């Protein structure tokens, strides 16, 4: 059973321009920090096993690993299908470099990614990309998350978001998220401190993204 302790406002849903296939428009709002695009030509196949790759586009290994771990924990909370990662000591770890997962133009190397998915015996591969990240306050994360169906080798969904901690709309969603998840002893001052925490902000971004994916896709 999928758990959605904080389904944020419907303005978080939308359409992502520039995806590799024609799109299905969900709902959209110009204020939304997130866009969700579903491929019009690809069936939404129910996931049975999911592989979460490390984020491409970021060179700092600490940021790369830390954000992947936060996405992994959120995916485990919200997705029905089991989620796995390639561990550092795995025989497949050497294949997870940006140069192997992406082409020179930044697009995903779909044959390589689906090949890894088949080796790992999964039905779907989730590929995060961090386009830009400011880890200090006010934090900003510009990312996309691409969902690939292994059997067809096609992109079935792409989520894109720009989360800026200085944006009043993002602050509103953060307050909503923390209000739903805070402890009884939390105070407004605690909330202000949490907003300044890079780890807390990245967890918030991971939770929003995985909640939206789980709500709209058969993951």
CATH of the domain at 207: 3.40.50
Please check whether residue 7 lies inside any domain of the structure: no
86 vs 69: CA distance, rounded Å? 12
Please check whether residue 47 lies inside any domain of the structure: yes
41 vs 211: CA distance, rounded Å? 23
Please name the residues in contact with 181: beta carbons below 8 A apart, sequence gap of 6 or more. 5, 6
pTM: 0.83
Predicted local distance difference test score (pLDDT) of residue 68: 94
Please name the residues in contact with 176: beta carbons below 8 A apart, sequence gap of 6 or more. 6, 8, 9
Please check whether residue 83 lies inside any domain of the structure: yes
Predicted local distance difference test score (pLDDT) of residue 44: 80
Predicted local distance difference test score (pLDDT) of residue 11: 34
The dihedrals phi and psi of 43, each to the nearest 5 degrees, come to -70, 145
Predicted local distance difference test score (pLDDT) of residue 178: 77
> Which residue range(s) make up the domain with 19?
12-216
Predicted local distance difference test score (pLDDT) of residue 184: 53
Please check whether residue 173 lies inside any domain of the structure: yes
205 vs 209: CA distance, rounded Å? 6
Predicted local distance difference test score (pLDDT) of residue 137: 83
Pull the structure tokens for residue 178: 């923390």
Predicted local distance difference test score (pLDDT) of residue 186: 55
- Number of structural domains the chain divides into: 1
Residues of the chain with pLDDT under 50: 5-28
Predicted local distance difference test score (pLDDT) of residue 26: 46
3-state helix, strand and coil shares in percent for the chain, rounded to the nearest 5: 35, 20, 40
């Amino acid at each position: 059973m999928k758990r959605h302790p904080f389904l944020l406002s419907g303005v978080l849903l939308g359409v992502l321009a520039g995806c590799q296939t024609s799109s299905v428009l969900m709902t959209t709002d110009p204020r939304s920090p997130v866009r969700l695009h579903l491929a019009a030509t690809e069936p939404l196949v129910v996931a049975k096993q999911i592989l979460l790759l490390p984020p491409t586009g970021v060179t700092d290994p600490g940021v790369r690993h830390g954000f992947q771990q936060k996405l992994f924990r959120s995916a485990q909370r919200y997705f029905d299908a089991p989620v796995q990662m390639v561990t550092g000591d795995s025989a497949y770890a050497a294949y997870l470099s940006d140069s192997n997962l992406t082409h020179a133009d930044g697009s995903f190397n779909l044959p390589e990614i689906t090949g890894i998915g088949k080796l790992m015996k999964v039905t779907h591969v989730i590929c995060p990309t961090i386009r830009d990240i400011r880890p200090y306050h006010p934090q900003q994360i510009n990312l996309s998350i691409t969902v690939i169906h292994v059997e067809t080798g096609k992109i079935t969904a792409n989520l894109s978001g720009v989360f800026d901690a200085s944006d009043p709309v993002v602050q509103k969603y953060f307050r909503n998220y923390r209000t739903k998840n805070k402890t009884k002893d939390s105070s407004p001052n605690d909330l202000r401190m949490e907003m300044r925490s890079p780890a807390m902000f990245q967890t918030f971004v991971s939770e929003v993204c995985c909640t939206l994916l789980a709500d709209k896709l058969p993951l």
